[in-house]
Amino acid sequence: MNAAMPRPTREFARNADLVLIVDDVPDNLAVLHDALDESGYTVLVATSGEAALARAAQARPDIVLLDAMMPGMDGFEVARRLKADAATAHIPIVFMTGLTETEHLVAALEAGGVDYVTKPIKPKEVLARMNVHLQGARRARQEAQQAGQARNALDAFGYASITVRLPEGRIIWQTALAREMLQRYCDTVAPATPPAVLDWLRRHLPDVQRAQTEPPALSIVRGARTLTLRLHQQTGHDDAGDDWLIIMREVSDTSVIEAMSLSLKLTAREAEVLYWVVKGKTNRDIGEILGSSPATVKKHLERVYVKLGVETRTAAAGVATKRIRELQPQFEI
């Protein structure tokens, strides 16, 4: 029997699923190896638990056929370790066992197995079971890849995202931009969820689940910059809890002022004055912020009225507010 040897990178046939068979009995390995090889699979073998973990970590097989009872590290422990490692946790495991007692079959599933076949092994049965789980694994990989592409696109446009599991209250997924934002604004690192975010979620989720409405956004302010968080949707549910996707966007005074200047055809200083009018500041307040006199602020504001075609401070603020909401819908006015 010529078993394929694992390599540091995946260089096997592109269209062939990679199967790792783990069994300490050479005859069992030979029967399965030949049947799988004839069916077009690329096959790796391991005769011990330690070897199985090493091969799985190195080659990342598409599925593992795992003998439950082996000397030393048994199949149950191998499965638990594979599932505990993020790099191999997604790999479906089919147990091969001569034990038919319910408690052993339950133990196989609790250890992370998706299925089991009983010995003596029937290759056709194994192939049929494998095909079902490989199809499911392919769909899961495709969905994860699509989700990852969508989340990376969010990052590219300045929107970060995290997934928080409740009631446990830990972050189970985040984009690179989200990691940086949470460190900068909240001084926290996943899986810890910032207390302000947890409090916001727990306060509003009862209303969300009852009325199916989006809760008010959470804003975390750091100087001239604001991190705005919005609850997007529930992405998962099981007996342990619910997963909630949160979209985050960082907004600064500068970015809003620049957008107003370009879209309303204002000078940079006129846009600054109008921005602080929207924020409810008086001419005296604006003068102090910008280092100008109230009279200078008034002159800038008069030119803003002309450019916007309005006559009052309230009307100018209304035009600016509408435009800001069009350009920066996540900005809290």
**Given this model, what pLDDT does residue 144 score?**
56
* Cα–Cα distance measured from residue 48 to residue 32, given in angstroms and rounded to the nearest whole number: 16
The torsion of the CA quartet 234, 153, 157, 233, rounded to 10 degrees, works out to -10
**Given this model, what pLDDT does residue 207 score?**
82
**Given this model, what pLDDT does residue 7 score?**
38
Which residues are CB-contacts of 160 (< 8 A; sequence separation ≥ 6)?
A: 154, 174, 175, 177, 178, 180, 181, 247, 248, 249, 250
Distances (CA, A) of 311 to 28, 43, 304: 88, 79, 9
Q: pTM higher than 0.75 for the full model?
A: no
Mean pLDDT in each 10-residue stretch from start to end of the chain (333 residues)? 41 63 88 88 92 90 91 92 86 84 75 85 88 80 59 58 88 86 90 92 85 82 80 79 85 77 88 91 91 93 92 90 73 58
**Given this model, what pLDDT does residue 333 score?**
58
* Cα–Cα distance measured from residue 205 to residue 277, given in angstroms and rounded to the nearest whole number: 34
**Given this model, what pLDDT does residue 11 score?**
39
The torsion of the CA quartet 139, 145, 148, 153, rounded to 10 degrees, works out to -120
**Given this model, what pLDDT does residue 257 score?**
83
In degrees, rounded to 5, the angle at the alpha carbon of residue 70 between the alpha carbons of residues 65 and 74 is 80
**Given this model, what pLDDT does residue 28 score?**
83
74: left (phi over 0), alpha (psi -120 to 50) or beta: beta
Q: What are phi and psi of 19, to 5 degrees?
A: -115, 130
**Given this model, what pLDDT does residue 274 score?**
93
What angle, 0 to 180 degrees and rounded to 10, lies between the N-to-C axes of helices 313-327 and 253-264?
A: 110
